[in-house]
Amino acid sequence: MATALRSLTRAMRRSKLLSMYSSGYMLHSHATSFGYKEVQEEEKSQMVGNVFTSVASNYDLMNDLMSGGLHRLWKDRLVSKLNPFPGMKHLDVAGGTGDVAFRILESINSVKRRALQDSPEDNLLEETQIFVCDINPNMLNVGKKRAQERGLAEDRALVWVEGDAEALNFEDNSMDGYTIAFGIRNVTHIEKALAEAYRVLKRGGRFLCLELSHVEVPIFKELYDLYSFSVIPAVGELVAGDRESYQYLVESIRRFPPQEKFAAMIADAGFQKVEYENLVGGVVAIHSGLKF
């Protein structure tokens, strides 16, 4: 009975969220955060777009420098939790550079190579579709260039789509999996992005979010804050000639909801079995949920 009541409450909240956005509830201008600044909602998407247009050409290099290369291991962990399979329809949002999509495709190829020893499944790889969705065309161009360098430019499993996490151009119940890595903190309405993720996933589909998060251990937190606010913007200025964009990226992490609160937001969107895993003491967290 209690489980049914919780499910009903979540469904009502989800219905309210969707009706708010679809009925023009957000037509009036409201303030939202852009790092530590308060800006109008209609300004934020443009400002975030400018940030990623600025950093696109140096995105991979800066990720390596800022994380000491650890972002590669974090993305590997994300994909291992997804457990990709041949023939799946997957949506990777805010994934313009292709980092996560390439890992998913390689994992599926590995599964297929093993399966071919036992049965003819050539058609499964052709049916696999990994949609790489990003609102910024410059980030998508970086991903397409990387795909070409990897010999994947003509691979029909990869589909590049310019699109908004808050208004996805995909049908209801159409995806087996949904991932978003280092992207959800940049959307204007997190709740709407989560509602859209829920909408496009099939029953049994998995939601996975890799995001920079909150460190709780006091001494580690002080060191992390010192590194974030002193080193990262300086490296951004030195390598990319853009201090302000990396200052925003650092500030946006601090404005993002803590792990438990974000997990509650995912549950409110309708997902079940919501959980998260902290990596490097909470520097990043992987949140997951299932659509039943």
Tell me the binding residues.
97, 134, 164-165
Instruction: Say which amino acid occupies 90.
Output: H
- The rounded Cα 1 to chain-centroid distance in angstroms is 34
User: Regarding beta strands 37-40 and 31-34, do their DSSP bridges make them parallel or antiparallel, or are they unpaired?
Assistant: antiparallel
Per DSSP, 164 falls in state B
Per DSSP, 26 falls in state T
Is the Cβ–Cβ distance between 211 and 75 less than 8 Å? no
Is the Cβ–Cβ distance between 177 and 208 less than 8 Å? yes
Per the structure block, which two tokens stand in for 40? 């109008």
Give Dmax over CA atoms of the chain in angstroms.
Answer: 59
Q: What is d(CA 187, CA 48) in angstroms, rounded to the nearest whole number?
A: 8
Measured distance between the N- and C-terminal CA atoms of the chain, rounded to whole angstroms: 17
3-state class (DSSP) for residue 158: strand
Q: What is d(CA 272, CA 7) in angstroms, rounded to the nearest whole number?
A: 9
> Which residues contribute to the annotated binding site for S-adenosyl-L-methionine?
97, 134, 164-165
Is the Cβ–Cβ distance between 256 and 212 less than 8 Å? yes
Per the structure block, which two tokens stand in for 110? 């590995």
State the CB neighbour count (10 A cutoff) for residue 140: 22
